[in-house]
Amino acid sequence: MIAVESSLHDCLKKFFGFNKFKGQQEQIINSVLEGKDTFVIMPTGGGKSLCYQLPALMSEGTAIIVSPLIALMKNQVDALRSFGTKDQDGIAHFLNSSLNKTEITKVKSDISKGKTKLLYVAPESLTKEENIAFFKEIKISFFAIDEAHCISEWGHDFRPEYRRLRPIIEAIGTVPIIALTATATPKVQQDILKNLDMTAANVFKSSFNRGNLYYEVRPKVNVGKEITKFVKKNAGKSGIIYCLSRKKVEEIAQLLKVNGVKALPYHAGLEAKERAQTQDMFLMEDIDVIVATIAFGMGIDKPDVRFVIHHDIPKSLEGYYQETGRAGRDGGEGQCVTFYSYDDIVKLEKFMKGKPVAEQEVGKQLLLETVSFAETGSCRRKFLLHYFGEEFDEAKCTNMCDNCKNPKQKIEGKDDIALLIEAVIAVKEKFKAKDVINVLLGNSTSVAKTYKHTDLEIFGDGADDDKDEKHWNSVVRQALVGGLLTKDIENYGLLKVSKEGKKFLSKPTSVMITKDHDYEGTDADDDDDIIAGGGQRVGGADEVLYSMLKDLCKKIAKQHNLPPYVIFQETSLSEMAIQYPINMEEMTRITGVGTGKAQKYGKPFIDLITKYVNDNEIERPQDLVIKTVANKSANKVHIIQSIDRKLSLEDIASAKKLKLKDIITEIETIVSSGTKVNINYYIDDVVDEDKQDDIYEYFREAETDSIEDALKELGEDNYSEEEVRLMRIKFLSEFAN
C-alpha cells in the first residue's frame, strides 16, 4: 500500500510538479485506479483535471475524456504535452471536428501503438460509427466525463448529445467512468448520476468555498467610470467583465480601449472566427480584458484570471457563482466585483413577461435570491454557501468579502415592514411599490388623488426625517425577499400580501435591515477620461525579476504558440522571484514545475535568474537545500500573499496550524532573505503607537539587531518580545531591503 501511495506522489511531482494533492484528489484518484465508478463535485479551480489525468498516465491503455468544447481540449492537450519530453507528444491527443483526415490517422495510429494515455473527444465525435468501431478494438482504461452538468436540462449549459453517452459507452465495453462537474445544485447532481447510470458510484463532494475569491457588491453608480478605474488600478492583470447586453459589451470595451486598456468585446453577435481569435488573444495575454456576455467563459480554462466584474447582476446565484468562479483558478488573487441596482432586477423581470407561468415562478424565485444576496449586510461567502446547502462560519471569511471587511450598520425593520404590509392592504393590493411608497410618505401624486389614497388613514404614516423613498424601497425589497409580499410580474408588478405576510402582521417578528446601501442609483454613466493608475503586482516577490520572468514566459509561449501559463503559471513565476532558483534541481523544487517542464522550458529562466542574481548581487534564500523546503516555500508564498491581503498574523497562523511565534519566525526569514513585507496594518493593531516609535528609534541607533539586547535596553517590563520582533521586521523591511 505504501508503495502505491509513494508512487502516486512521485507521479504527481514528476508530471505536474506539485508536492501535494489538493483537497480530495488523492482519494478520487485511488477510486479511479481501483476501477470504481466515481463522481466528483468540485468547484471551479478545485483541480478536477488532475483527477483523471494522473490515473490515465498511470494506467494501462487509453483514457477517453469527453469534454464539451474544442478550445478547451486543445488547451488541455497542450498543457499535458508540456509536462513530458518532446518524443512523448503522442501521450495526449484530441479527436474532434477540427481535425483533417491525416491528423485523425495519426491520432489513431498513436493510440494503437499504445503511445496515447489520454484522448479528448467531443461528444459528437464519440457517437460517430467509425469511431465506435475503433474504440471497441483498443484498450481503454476508463471514461472521464468532464463538465458532466451538460447532461442535465437543469444545468446552466445543457447539451443534448451528452444524454447519449451512456448507451455508447456500453456499446464500447465495460470500463469505469469518472464524471466531474462544478455544479453546486443537488438536482443537477442527481440527474447526472441517473443519466450515466452510476448511482452506485463513489461520490466525492468538495466544499464550494473558494477561499481566495474576494466578493464585493457595489451600488451601480457611474459604472463605466468605476469599472475603468478598477481595471486601471489592476493594470496588466487578466480580467473578465460581464454585461447583459451586446450593446453594453461594445460600449464598455470601447470605453476601456480609449482609456488605454487592452480590451476586446466578445458576444454571440460576432463572427465565430473573430470570437475564437479574441479568446486566443486573451489566453496568450495579448489582451488583458475581455468584455463579454455570458456566452463567454465555459471555454476558458485560463487559471490566472485576476478579476471578474459584473456590470449587471446575473439572473441567478448559480450563474453568479459559476461566473465569478472563473477568477483565481490557480488559487491566487481573484477579485469579484458586482455592480447592482434594483432597476436591473426590474428589467430582468420584464424579460420574463409572457413566459409560461411555471417558468416565471422559477425565474422570480431565482431573482429574489439574487436580490437577497446583493442586499445582504452579512458575510457574502456564508450566504452563497448556504444557498448551496453548505454551512460556513463567517469568521473563516477573513475579510474576503465587502461585508466582513466593512461591516454595515443594521437597524430593526419590524415596525416598518408591518406598516408597509398595512399600506399594501389599504390600497387593496392593486398598486405598484412606487404608489404604495407614495402613500406611506404622504405624497399627493395624481395617482394618490385619483384613487383617493389621500383619504386613507395610513396616508403619510411612514414619513419621517430619516425615512425617505430610498429607505422604503429597501423595506419593500426586504419584504419581497422574506416572502411577506409578492410581486405580480404579469400585472405591472402589483404588490400583494402573502400568507406569511398576513401571519407576520398579526405577530411581527424581528427583521434586521441593512443601512447605508444605495442600490437605486441609476446607471448614469459619465464616461470621462480617467487618469491612469499604477499597477501593482504579485506581492512579496522581487517585482523587477517577476516582470522579467513574465516577459520571458510570454516570449517563449509565443515561440511555441502556447498560452504563457502552459509554460509556467503565475504562481510558479512568483515563487521563482522569491526563491531565485539557479540550477535544474532548484528549479524542479518550485511548485508547479515538474522534471519534464524544467527540462523543456527551465533553461532560459535559470539563465535569466542567474544573470539577475549576479548583476544585482542578490543573496538567495539559503534554505533551498533542506529537504522539507517544498512545504516551507509553499508556506512562504502563502504568508506573503496573506500579508498582502492584510490578514492578521493570528489568522495566517491558524490557517497554517502554526503558532503566532512560528509565523513571526517565518516572516523574519523572509525579510532576512531580502524580501520586503509590509505588516504595518497589523502592527498598528497590536502595538501602541508610542511604543512603536520607541522601538523603531532603538533599532535606528542600535549596533546590533539582537532581540535580547533590544529588550535589555528598552526594558523587558514595558516591551514584549513579540512587539520588538514585529518592529524589527518593519525596520528591516524598510531599511535593509
Instruction: Tell which residue, 460, 477, 463, 370, has the closest CA to residue 413.
Output: 477
CB of 25 to ligand ADP, least distance (A): 6
Of the candidates 15, 21, 52, 204, which one interacts with ligand ADP according to CB under 6 A? 21
CA gyration radius, the chain = 29
CB of 22 to ligand ADP, least distance (A): 4
Q: Does residue 381 interact with Zn ion by CB under 5 A?
A: yes
Q: Which residues contact 378 (CB under 8 A, 6 or more apart)?
A: 394, 403
Q: Are the C-beta atoms of 467 and 513 separated by less than 8 Å? A: no
Stretch of 46-54, 129-137, 243-251, 371-379 contacting ligand ADP, by CB under 6 A? 46-54
Q: Does residue 48 interact with ligand ADP by CB under 6 A?
A: yes
The Cα–Cα gap between 180 and 232 comes to: 37
CB of 593 to ligand ADP, least distance (A): 11
Q: Which three cell numbers stand for residue 635?
A: 508556506
CB of 252 to Zn ion, least distance (A): 28
Residue 3: alpha-carbon gap to chain centroid: 36
Q: Does residue 289 interact with Zn ion by CB under 5 A?
A: no
Residue 381 site contact among Mg ion, ligand ADP, Zn ion, none (CB < 5 to 8 Å, cut-off depends on kind):
Zn ion
Q: Does residue 68 interact with ligand ADP by CB under 6 A?
A: no
The per-residue DSSP string of 460-486 comes to: TTT-BTTB-HHHHHHHHHHHHHTTSEE
Q: Are the C-beta atoms of 346 and 357 separated by less than 8 Å? A: no
The Cα–Cα gap between 217 and 203 comes to: 34
The one-letter amino acid code at 324 reads T
Stretch of 237-245, 381-389, 436-444, 465-473 contacting Zn ion, by CB under 5 A? 381-389
Q: Which is nearer to Zn ion, 145 or 397 (CB)?
A: 397
Q: Which is nearer to Zn ion, 326 or 381 (CB)?
A: 381
Residue 548 site contact among ligand ADP, Mg ion, Zn ion, none (CB < 5 to 8 Å, cut-off depends on kind):
none
Q: Which is nearer to ligand ADP, 44 or 324 (CB)?
A: 44
CB of 52 to ligand ADP, least distance (A): 9
The per-residue DSSP string of 498-521 comes to: -HHHHHHHHS----EEE-S-----
Site string for ligand ADP, 297-336 (x = CB under 6 A): ----x-x-------------------------xx------
CB of 41 to ligand ADP, least distance (A): 10
Stretch of 25-33, 82-90, 112-120, 375-383 contacting Zn ion, by CB under 5 A? 375-383
Q: Does residue 110 interact with ligand ADP by CB under 6 A?
A: no
Residue 22 site contact among Zn ion, Mg ion, ligand ADP, none (CB < 5 to 8 Å, cut-off depends on kind):
ligand ADP
Of the candidates 24, 38, 44, 62, which one interacts with ligand ADP according to CB under 6 A? 44
Residue 47 site contact among Zn ion, ligand ADP, Mg ion, none (CB < 5 to 8 Å, cut-off depends on kind):
ligand ADP
The Cα–Cα gap between 390 and 388 comes to: 6
The per-residue DSSP string of 674-698 comes to: T-----HHHHHHHS-HHHHHHHHHH
CB of 166 to ligand ADP, least distance (A): 22
**What's the half-sphere exposure (Cβ side, CA atoms, 13 Å) at 133?**
3
Q: Are the C-beta atoms of 571 and 592 separated by less than 8 Å? A: yes
CB of 571 to ligand ADP, least distance (A): 8
The per-residue DSSP string of 345-372 comes to: HHHHHHHHTTS-HHHHHHHHHHHHHHHH
The Cα–Cα gap between 341 and 570 comes to: 35
Return phi, psi of residue 207, to 5°.
-65, 145
The Cα–Cα gap between 143 and 126 comes to: 11
Residue 18 site contact among Mg ion, ligand ADP, Zn ion, none (CB < 5 to 8 Å, cut-off depends on kind):
ligand ADP
According to DSSP, the β-strands at 410-412 and 512-514 are antiparallel
Residue 96 site contact among ligand ADP, Mg ion, Zn ion, none (CB < 5 to 8 Å, cut-off depends on kind):
none
Q: Does residue 326 interact with Mg ion by CB under 5 A?
A: no
**Cβ neighbours, 10 Å, residue 530:** 20
Of the candidates 41, 42, 169, 440, which one interacts with ligand ADP according to CB under 6 A? 42
Of the candidates 397, 441, 538, 566, which one interacts with Zn ion according to CB under 5 A? 397
Burial tier of 353 (Cβ tally within 10 Å: 0-12, 13-18, 19+): exposed
The Cα–Cα gap between 420 and 433 comes to: 10
CB of 321 to Mg ion, least distance (A): 15
Return phi, psi of residue 97, to 5°.
-65, -10
Helix (H) or strand (E) holding 497: strand 494-497
Instruction: Tell which residue, 449, 461, 448, has the closest CA to residue 419.
Output: 461
Q: Does residue 49 interact with ligand ADP by CB under 6 A?
A: yes
Q: Which residues contact 555 (CB under 8 A, 6 or more apart)?
A: none
Size of the site for ligand ADP (CB under 6 A): 17
Q: Which is nearer to ligand ADP, 475 or 549 (CB)?
A: 549
> Which residues inside 566-605 make contact with ligand ADP, applying CB under 6 A?
569
Helix (H) or strand (E) holding 595: helix 595-615
Q: Does residue 217 interact with Zn ion by CB under 5 A?
A: no
Q: Does residue 48 interact with Mg ion by CB under 5 A?
A: yes
Residue 379 site contact among Zn ion, Mg ion, ligand ADP, none (CB < 5 to 8 Å, cut-off depends on kind):
Zn ion
Stretch of 38-46, 196-204, 556-564, 622-630 contacting ligand ADP, by CB under 6 A? 38-46
CB of 492 to ligand ADP, least distance (A): 43
Q: Does residue 47 interact with ligand ADP by CB under 6 A?
A: yes
The per-residue DSSP string of 275-327 comes to: HHHHHHHHHTTSSSEEEE-TTSSTT---TTEEEEEESS--SSHHHHHHHHTTS
Q: Does residue 22 interact with ligand ADP by CB under 6 A?
A: yes
Site string for Zn ion, 494-523 (x = CB under 5 A): ------------------------------
Of the candidates 95, 289, 404, 670, which one interacts with Zn ion according to CB under 5 A? 404
CB of 634 to ligand ADP, least distance (A): 9
Stretch of 47-55, 241-249, 431-439, 665-673 contacting ligand ADP, by CB under 6 A? 47-55
Stretch of 46-54, 266-274, 316-324, 717-725 contacting Mg ion, by CB under 5 A? 46-54
The Cα–Cα gap between 127 and 150 comes to: 16
Q: Which is nearer to Zn ion, 369 or 623 (CB)?
A: 369
3-state secondary structure of 337: strand
Burial tier of 61 (Cβ tally within 10 Å: 0-12, 13-18, 19+): middle
Q: Does residue 75 interact with ligand ADP by CB under 6 A?
A: no
The Cα–Cα gap between 317 and 363 comes to: 11
The Cα–Cα gap between 367 and 697 comes to: 58
> Which residues inside 401-440 make contact with Mg ion, applying CB under 5 A?
none
3-state secondary structure of 394: helix
Q: Does residue 302 interact with Mg ion by CB under 5 A?
A: no
Q: Which is nearer to ligand ADP, 44 or 116 (CB)?
A: 44
Task: Using CB under 5 A, list all residues that contact Mg ion.
Answer: 48
Task: Using CB under 6 A, list all residues that contact ligand ADP.
Answer: 18, 21-22, 25, 42, 44-50, 301, 303, 329-330, 569
Task: Using CB under 5 A, list all residues that contact Zn ion.
Answer: 379, 381, 397, 401, 404
